[in-house]
């Protein structure tokens, strides 16, 4: 009987629980024993493992966060820490580890594979910054959370005839800001991938005022190379408008996952178990052209994210 472990690592994302549920139930359906590893790689080092049955993952599909908890492990970044993790895997007799997380978690799984551990990776991150897959688990929910916030902010912004800068997550990848900006009707979107001059944003605001616009929304990804408070001050001084800053921060990580994230998580969990049952390992599960597939882990991590310049151009065209 194959014995596997499943862990969630790095920042939590809505849909991680759905992925854990899928791994456990599809695994058991194929005759496997599935162990939950608590607190990510940190828990793997410390041996925080528990065998999970079908009931253990009941009533978690709709919950945000992760029932297995998560942690960023400094110890796992060392050779000694990784070898201790391997010792735990050998002690429990695990044949493979399923890792649910982002690029840092995948990099950790790759290091385990180099030490002889069979791994399978499922993309769980709101940032959508893994280049090999079209979408990551949690991204859709995060964007919808931002959209809901923008709708509420717009009501107040309109009532007070002000400009509001909304800072969203995205240190290296601006997809949350871009998609929320387009779907939320923002006047401008500031991303780490685009070197956009603040002057052009201010000009857009002034031109909008001259055309009768009473308010404006600016979406800024946290990775845009200008401090948010400084940006607010700059826009206020250049436009003469009342400008406010709203930082959504960890609000974007919480909440019940959307249909899209629940389905993606479930399909990825199924594919991970299917590949393990077929004797395949060291894969990154991803979505391409509507199909959930397994990719070579090392090659998947090396895949760069292609910025959609055409999509970015939507913002200026639609907000005129």
Decide if 53 is catalytic.
Answer: no
- How far apart are alpha carbons 101 and 12 in whole angstroms? 8
DSSP conformational letter for 244: E
Q: Are strands 33-37 and 3-8 parallel, antiparallel or unpaired?
A: parallel
Query: CA–CA distance from 49 to each of 4, 11, 84, 93, 116 (Å)?
Result: 11, 20, 14, 12, 20
Of the residues 12, 46, 127, 261, only one is catalytic, namely 127
- Location of structure tokens 């509420």: 152
Report, as residue numbers or ranges, the catalytic residues: 127
């Amino acid at each position: 009987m194959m014995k596997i472990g499943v862990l969630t690592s790095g920042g939590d994302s809505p849909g991680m629980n759905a992925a854990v549920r899928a791994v456990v139930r599809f695994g058991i359906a194929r005759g496997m024993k599935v162990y939950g590893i608590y607190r990510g790689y940190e828990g793997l080092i410390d041996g925080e493992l528990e065998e999970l049955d079908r009931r253990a993952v009941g009533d978690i599909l709709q919950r945000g966060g992760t029932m297995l908890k998560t942690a960023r492990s400094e110890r796992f970044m060392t050779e000694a820490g990784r070898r201790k993790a391997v010792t735990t895997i050998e002690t429990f007799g695990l044949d493979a580890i399923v890792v649910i997380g982002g690029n840092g978690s995948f990099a950790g799984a790759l290091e385990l594979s180099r030490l002889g551990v069979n791994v399978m990776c499922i993309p769980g991150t709101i940032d959508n910054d893994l280049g090999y897959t079209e979408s990551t688990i949690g991204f859709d929910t995060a964007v919808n959370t931002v959209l809901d916030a923008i709708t509420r902010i717009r009501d107040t912004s309109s009532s007070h005839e002000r400009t509001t800068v909304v800072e969203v997550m995205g240190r290296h990848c601006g997809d949350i800001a871009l998609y929320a900006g387009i779907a939320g009707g923002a006047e401008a979107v500031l991303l780490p991938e685009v070197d956009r001059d603040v002057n052009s944003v201010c000009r857009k605001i002034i031109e909008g005022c001259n055309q009768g616009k009473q308010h404006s929304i600016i979406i800024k990804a946290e990775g845009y190379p200008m401090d948010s408070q400084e940006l607010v001050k700059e826009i206020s001084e250049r436009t003469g408008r009342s400008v406010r800053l709203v930082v959504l921060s960890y609000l974007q990580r919480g909440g019940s996952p959307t249909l899209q994230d629940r389905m993606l998580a479930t399909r990825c969990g199924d594919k991970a178990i299917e590949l393990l049952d077929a004797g395949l390992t060291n894969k990154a599960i991803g979505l391409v052209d509507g199909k959930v597939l397994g990719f070579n882990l090392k090659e998947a991590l090396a895949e760069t994210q292609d910025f959609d310049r055409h999509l970015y151009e939507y913002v200026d065209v639609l907000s005129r």
